Amino acid sequence: MKSQIEEEFSDFYEKWVVQLEEHLRLLLVVSKEKPQEAVCEAVVTKLTAHHKEYYTVKWASAADDVLAFFTPLWLTALENAYLWVTGWKPSMAFRLVESLKKADAGHSAGVGASLAGMTEEQVKRIEGLRVRMKAEEEKVEREMERMQVAMADRKMVELARLERVARKKGDAAAVGQVDEMVNAAVKGLLCGLEKVMKMADCVRLKTLKGVLDVLNPMQSVDFLAANTMLQIQMKKWGEIRDKRCRIDNQENCLLISNH
């Protein structure tokens, strides 16, 4: 059963993805027609604003239920498998740039073709950004590891022992006191998780902004088109896989019941 936050964010995300698909259609048209820079800049601005809206709503929702974003019910199992601290890993953006840079303009259907023409200066700046963002990724991972290890520190182990003893003795007053301490400790852990989530999101946003700052408007359109297409297709592949699993489970249940 979904919590209220999960219900509300699931509804928001479903509508957000529909709008993302509309942005993709526009990106593909612009990528093919290659209009003036002002048109490209307008399309890029709209999509970046769409992504910022996602994080604004995400952070507001996480303030009430941060754990929902570490086990997001609105994503498919395939999407969940590739999550990095509640979202996409920044390093993926640089891998995508590299793939598009090597793409054959004659076989790219207009998407990503202009990245094959990146200048040496652009390549150098992208590499510098990649190194900086990698360092920030590692900082997030260290903080996440610290939070995970905190679950087994002396304080948490002692609370677990105290609660077990109090419940075994049937001491209601002691149980109440321990519950208060446990709630305070868990609240501290959740605040830590929220902090790490926001750190990771900031690296994602800085990576996206950094890449777009290096690319020219037409290159930015091609990069965003490829990135958006990958995100949407990953969701669709995941939905197909989840549907097949549900059908297989139903068939297995029928086989079992018939025997």
In this prediction, residue 108 carries a pLDDT of 47
Tokens of 36: 């003036």
For residue 105, pLDDT over 50 is answered with no
- Tell me what the mean pLDDT of segment 49-75 comes to: 97
Residues 40/217, Cβ–Cβ less than 8 Å = yes
- Global pTM? 0.86
Q: Cα separation of 205 and 222, whole Å? A: 18
In this prediction, residue 146 carries a pLDDT of 92
More confident residue, 42 or 181: 42
Q: Which long-range contacts (CB under 8 A, 24 or more apart) does 244-249 make?
A: 245/77
- Cα 159 to Cα 174, 208, 256: the distances in Å are 12, 42, 44
User: Mean pLDDT across the chain, nearest whole number?
Assistant: 89
In this prediction, residue 246 carries a pLDDT of 76
In this prediction, residue 253 carries a pLDDT of 58
In this prediction, residue 256 carries a pLDDT of 61
More confident residue, 256 or 109: 256
Q: How confident is the model at residue 257 (pLDDT cuts 50, 70, 90)?
A: low
Instruction: Using the structure block, give the residue that is written with the tokens 């990953």.
Output: 234
Q: How confident is the model at residue 185 (pLDDT cuts 50, 70, 90)?
A: confident
Q: How confident is the model at residue 250 (pLDDT cuts 50, 70, 90)?
A: low
- Tell me what the mean pLDDT of segment 146-169 comes to: 78
Alpha helices in the chain (DSSP H): 4-33, 37-62, 77-81, 91-102, 120-150, 154-169, 172-214, 217-258
pLDDT tens digit string along 193-234? 999 999 999 999 999 999 999 999 999 999 999 999 999 999
